[in-house]
Amino acid sequence: MLDDADALYGLGEFRDSYMNLRGKERELIQFNTQSAVPVIWSTRGWGLMWDNPSRTVYRDTPEGMSFSSDRGDIIDYYFFAGDKPDDIIASYRSLTGAQPMLPAWAFGYHQSRNRYHNEAELVEVASRMKELGVPMASIFIDYHYWGKYGTGSHRFDESLWPDIKALTKRLRDDYGTHSVITMWPCFKEGIDNYNRLDSAGAILHGAKAIDGVLYDPFNPEGRRLYREMIADIIDSGIDGWFLDGVEPDDKNSFLPTVTHDGPATRVHSAYPLVHTSNFREALDKQRPGQRHYMLTRCAWAGQQRNGTAVWSGDIPTTFDELSKQIPAGLQFTAAGVPYWTTDIGGYLKGNPKSPAYREVFTRWFQYGTFCPVFRNHGRRHPFNTNGPNEIWSYGDTVQQIITDYIALRYDLMPYIYSLSARVTMDGYTPMRLLAFDFAGDSRVLDVKDQFMYGPAFLVCPVTTAGATSREVVLAAGADWIDYRSAKTAQGGTTVTADAPREWMPLYVRAGSVIPRAGDVIEVWPGADAEFALYEDDGSSLDYLDGKYSNIVLKWDEAARTLTLGADARAPRHEFTVRLRGVNGAKDSVKKVAYDGKAKTVKF
């Protein structure tokens, strides 16, 4: 039986709007829009991983907390202890595997829709984004690029994509963006790849996905053949991988099958872990020394070690759904898998010409700017894969708002990328439900529509149609500065924040150091602060050999000084240090040349 003071979090991505899991019940099973990760932790300093991938029911009742699984020979679980939630999650990752660094471009803005049909459509979008001067980390080709060759052929139909190697190079060189394609773990009956897998006993007959049948990633020969089959497409110059349908896609047709490791009912939830492990093995072999970007629709415990980010599946396009996605993502990252996102605007429907949907899309885009992965995707009106979903599809007013948010994302990139280093090296979680940092304030333990992004930002999405303000709970233990007005509010209070259509309420924790683009270091005063500015080459695995710099930035509130710590590995910088003026005071700006030696700036 748990103590009354225990507040519980984790278990993965669910659309039930639960935050504190005390007194709740959840069925842990995977399907499109739900991702079960059987990791839970308490604000009283303990955590638990229930190591069973069959259907499991979690319950917390007055008689105690329990896990009950359908299949299994033994009870297998791991217990973690730590002073803080970050310590508990770091312990969990030390057991199940650290999250590798993603390539730096993965933290930028990703443009996608269902779907771009051919090279001309894709290049037209990339060209217009360049003309507008809007940065774009990647553009998603999505699926059916295989055309006449069939699902699972892992080939591009040349009538649609004449020279994929030349295209991917052109996207990088001429348009400054990367390419991402969909990869499904299924094969159309009759094609050569299907027949080879079937001959090896590695097809799960009856398990449907798109117009194909799933392969068995639990089968060693099936894994080997799959890696062999995707070798050419890995060599095509594609930069990222959109691993769709790994729940697996059609749960009801998968569960009656028998895998190499036993009935599907026994191993179900581990399918995405095993498949992404196999995919990463292929990437590691063919692209040694490089970081990989994989986005997948589901995850299980330990999947962070494969470097995958996760998105929440084919969700509706409503304000109600947006309100569900916020706690879903926070519970997912609380379960130890740090990189998560939604399809901005939702996936299923949405008419870019509708004023009502434009409001949904705008508010969702504002929220998406502060998700670990920032990706716009969906199947828009008229829902026949021709529906537009580019930033100009929503009218001039919306285009300007979301362009400003893309600019904000890139302006914060040094902060965001530095957080990603903490993820890999310290087991940190960037998108944080409030109990991570403010468990002592009982008011925040069940807050479902606010979160921290790193140590500095309190993000307050707007989830109600027509809203021009919203209530914000300001956690005790810090004072808070309104990002737009620079006015300070006391922690431990609830305020009404302005929320005009063009702005989502955003607060900065008093006592924050935020590195920004252009070698700007921004200090928000009010308390002592510390932040480490991390830099590396953004693409290789050289960071594993210590080839990076980590400049520790310390603000002393009483002395009014910012100290830049020594790091001989750091490149030279001409920093602009901006002390933000609050409550009507003006900003103070000073320049400092940094050459790896410690420097102190006095205000």
Q: What pTM was estimated for this model as a whole?
A: 0.98
* Residue 205 predicted with pLDDT over 90: yes
- Tally of CB atoms within 10 A around 413: 16
Edge-to-edge strand list for the sheet holding 186-187: 186-187, 212-215, 203-209
pLDDT band at 462 (very low <50, low <70, confident <90, very high): very high
pLDDT of residue 224: 98
Q: How far apart are the first and last CA of the chain?
A: 53
Scored b (16 or more CB within 10 A) or e, 239-267 reads bbbbbbbbbbbbbebbbebebbeeebbbb
pLDDT of residue 512: 98
Measure the CA–CA gap between 183 and 241, rounded to whole angstroms. 7
- 458: alpha, beta or left? (left if phi > 0; alpha if psi -120 to 50): beta
Residue 145: name the closest of 155, 137, 130 by CA: 155
The verdict on whether 119 is a catalytic residue reads no
pLDDT band at 331 (very low <50, low <70, confident <90, very high): very high
Q: Which of 119, 239, 247, 437 is catalytic?
A: 247
Measure the CA–CA gap between 297 and 421, rounded to whole angstroms. 24
Element (H, E) at 42: strand 35-42
The verdict on whether 449 is a catalytic residue reads no
Q: What is the mean pLDDT of the chain?
A: 98
Question: 470: cis peptide before it, omega within 30°?
Answer: no
Scored b (16 or more CB within 10 A) or e, 217-227 reads bbbeebbebbb
Mean pLDDT, rounded, for 38-50 = 98
CA–centroid distance for 139 within its chain: 17
Residue 82: name the closest of 51, 48, 59 by CA: 48
* Residue 365 predicted with pLDDT over 80: yes
454 neighbors 486 (Cβ within 8 angstroms)? no
* Alpha helices for 46-163 (secondary structure H): 85-96, 119-132
Mean pLDDT, rounded, for 138-153 = 97
Q: Which of 157, 314, 404, 426 is catalytic?
A: 314
pLDDT of residue 94: 97
* Alpha helices for 446-586 (secondary structure H): none
**Alpha-carbon dihedral sign for residues 540, 545, 547, 548:** positive
Measure the CA–CA gap between 212 and 184, rounded to whole angstroms. 9
In tens, the pLDDT along 58-104 reads 999 999 999 999 999 999 999 999 999 999 999 999 999 999 999 99
Measure the CA–CA gap between 400 and 594, rounded to whole angstroms. 36
pLDDT band at 164 (very low <50, low <70, confident <90, very high): very high
In tens, the pLDDT along 368-380 reads 999 999 999 999 9
Which three-class secondary structure state does DSSP give residue 434? Answer: coil
pLDDT of residue 42: 98
Measure the CA–CA gap between 553 and 518, rounded to whole angstroms. 16
Measure the CA–CA gap between 41 and 62, rounded to whole angstroms. 18
Q: Which of 51, 119, 244, 567 is catalytic?
A: 244
pLDDT band at 19 (very low <50, low <70, confident <90, very high): very high
Count the alpha carbons within 13 Å of 48 in the hemisphere toward its beta carbon.
Answer: 12
> Percent of the chain beyond pLDDT 70?
100
Measure the CA–CA gap between 300 and 517, rounded to whole angstroms. 35
Mean pLDDT, rounded, for 436-442 = 97
Q: Position of tokens 């312990």?
A: 91
413 neighbors 107 (Cβ within 8 angstroms)? yes
Mean pLDDT, rounded, for 10-26 = 98
The verdict on whether 314 is a catalytic residue reads yes
pLDDT of residue 57: 98
Mean pLDDT, rounded, for 240-249 = 97
* Residue 527 predicted with pLDDT over 80: yes
Give the 3-state secondary structure percentages of the chain, helix then strand then coil, rounded to 5: 30, 30, 45
570 neighbors 594 (Cβ within 8 angstroms)? yes
Which three-class secondary structure state does DSSP give residue 127? Answer: helix
Mean pLDDT, rounded, for 47-61 = 98
Residue 333: name the closest of 436, 461, 431 by CA: 431
Measure the CA–CA gap between 15 and 429, rounded to whole angstroms. 21
pLDDT band at 219 (very low <50, low <70, confident <90, very high): very high
In single-letter form, the type of residue at position 575 comes to: F
Question: 355: cis peptide before it, omega within 30°?
Answer: no
In Å, how far are 40, 267, 443 from 247, measured between CA atoms?
Answer: 21, 11, 36
Mean pLDDT, rounded, for 536-552 = 98
pLDDT of residue 179: 98
Fill in the DSSP letter of residue 344. Answer: B
In single-letter form, the type of residue at position 67 comes to: F
In tens, the pLDDT along 558-600 reads 999 999 999 999 999 999 999 999 999 999 999 999 999 999 9
pLDDT of residue 1: 75
pLDDT of residue 32: 98
Question: 515: cis peptide before it, omega within 30°?
Answer: no
pLDDT of residue 212: 98
Token duo for residue 577: 């240090």
For the stretch 536-543, contacts whose Cβ atoms lie closer than 8 Å and that sit 24 or more positions apart, written own/partner, are 536/101, 536/421, 538/103, 538/104, 538/105, 538/417, 539/103, 539/104, 539/290, 539/291, 540/289, 540/290, 540/291, 541/101, 541/289, 541/290, 541/291, 542/289, 543/101, 543/421, 543/424
Which three-class secondary structure state does DSSP give residue 330? Answer: helix
Residue 518: name the closest of 594, 456, 575 by CA: 575
Fill in the DSSP letter of residue 540. Answer: B
Measure the CA–CA gap between 538 and 178, rounded to whole angstroms. 14
> Percent of the chain beyond pLDDT 90?
100
In single-letter form, the type of residue at position 233 comes to: I
In tens, the pLDDT along 259-316 reads 999 999 999 999 999 999 999 999 999 999 999 999 999 999 999 999 999 999 999 9
Measure the CA–CA gap between 461 and 257, rounded to whole angstroms. 42
Mean pLDDT, rounded, for 101-130 = 98
